[in-house]
Structure 1
Amino acid sequence: MADRPGEGGGPDEPPAPPPPRPLDAIDQDILRMLQADGRASIRSVAERVHVSRANAYARINRLVEDGVIRGFGARVDHERAGHGTSAYITLKIVQNSWRTVRAELRKLPGASHIALVGGDFDVLLLVHTPDNRALRELVLSRLQAIPEVLSTRTLLVFETEDLEPQG
């Protein structure tokens, strides 16, 4: 975390983005379109939100520069990609060890989401593995070997549904 507003939190963290600007209806429409189809052309975005190509291009660049759009990528069906077992793993960690634990969790194969949370546990981790044996190995050999991890609880995922707009 930063010591002062606008500063990064250290060597592992980028500088803080500028304060958010309000998004108008056109910006919101552009975001919805790109969430549904990140490969949409500038021309098609411009046509659908009724602005010029130059305006659409400038708006998308501003959304990227402001950190509203963090990147463009593919939505993966993990089961079809050979990672048919998914689990949420909760972790209790040593106080003030978040940065150290986060750095270790980023190295785990199949880790796809890491969150520092409040409540009965400290960290929520989503992982995708080829099978239950690989999940067991990840939890027992990799996660529990991190010195700052005090305990884990594994919640096996039976089914998921992506609530983001679909392309």
Structure 2
Amino acid sequence: MAISGGNLFAMDAVDQEILDVLRADSRTSMRELAQRLGISRTSAYARVKRLVDSGVIRAFTIEVDPAALGLGLSAYIHVRTKQNSWKSFRKKVWALEEAAHVALVSGDFDAVILVRARDAEHLRELVLERIQSLPEVVATQTVLVFEEHVGQ
């Protein structure tokens, strides 16, 4: 079972296998998907369409290596914001090209931002001059990422 748009979506083992294959390579053809799962192409198309239409599959995407783009330094920026400022803060942070992920969280901080920077100077400028200067920001804490693994 999966929750999609607040509704429970009934998934069987074949649906789960489809998700596993497409997570590993979203460019997998329907022909190859059907062969790997031992189902017809018609069934593969129908199942993928049902997963998309129900919202279980939200997008087919690519994974880019930030270091190959010259963004070899990653960090999590923990941010404490002023009361009731999440929506305006989120909009401004998503406008930063360095922001890879933004989340509202519980705990000592209100938000966590995963950022990608060229180097330490770029990260310093991003945090001290652009993020901390936002009127919604009360405090930040920067956590450098030494090694990263993306799971499926």
Report the TM range for the smaller structure's normalisation.
over 0.9
Residues 36-55 of structure 1 show CA distances to partners (whole Å, capped at 9, x for unaligned) of 11100011111111221111
- For the pair 1:157 / 2:145, whether they are aligned, the reply is yes
- For the pair 1:122 / 2:117, whether they are aligned, the reply is no
- CA distance, structure 1, for counterparts of residue 140 and residue 115 of structure 2: 13
> Within 5 A, what are the aligned runs for 1:1-167?
17=5, 19-164=7-152
Q: Given that residues 87 and 127 in structure 1 are in contact (C-alpha distance below 8 angstroms), is that contact kept between their aligned partners in structure 2?
A: yes
* Secondary structure of 1:126's aligned partner: strand
- CA distance, structure 1, for counterparts of residue 111 and residue 43 of structure 2: 41
Offset of residue 103 of structure 1: 0.5
More helix by share: 2
Q: Which runs of 4+ in 1 moved over 2 A?
A: none
**Which consecutive unaligned segments of at least 5 residues does structure 2 have?**
none
- CA distance, structure 1, for counterparts of residue 8 and residue 58 of structure 2: 13
Greater alpha carbon shift after TM alignment, 141-150 vs 34-43? 141-150
* Secondary structure of 2:44's aligned partner: helix
**Which consecutive unaligned segments of at least 5 residues does structure 1 have?**
1-15
Residues 45-81 of structure 1 show CA distances to partners (whole Å, capped at 9, x for unaligned) of 1111122111111111111122211211211221122
* Secondary structure of 1:147's aligned partner: coil
- How large is the Cα RMSD of the aligned pairs? 1.4
More strand by share: 2
* Secondary structure of 1:120's aligned partner: coil
TM-score by length of 2: 0.92
* Secondary structure of 1:20's aligned partner: strand
Offset of residue 163 of structure 1: 2.3
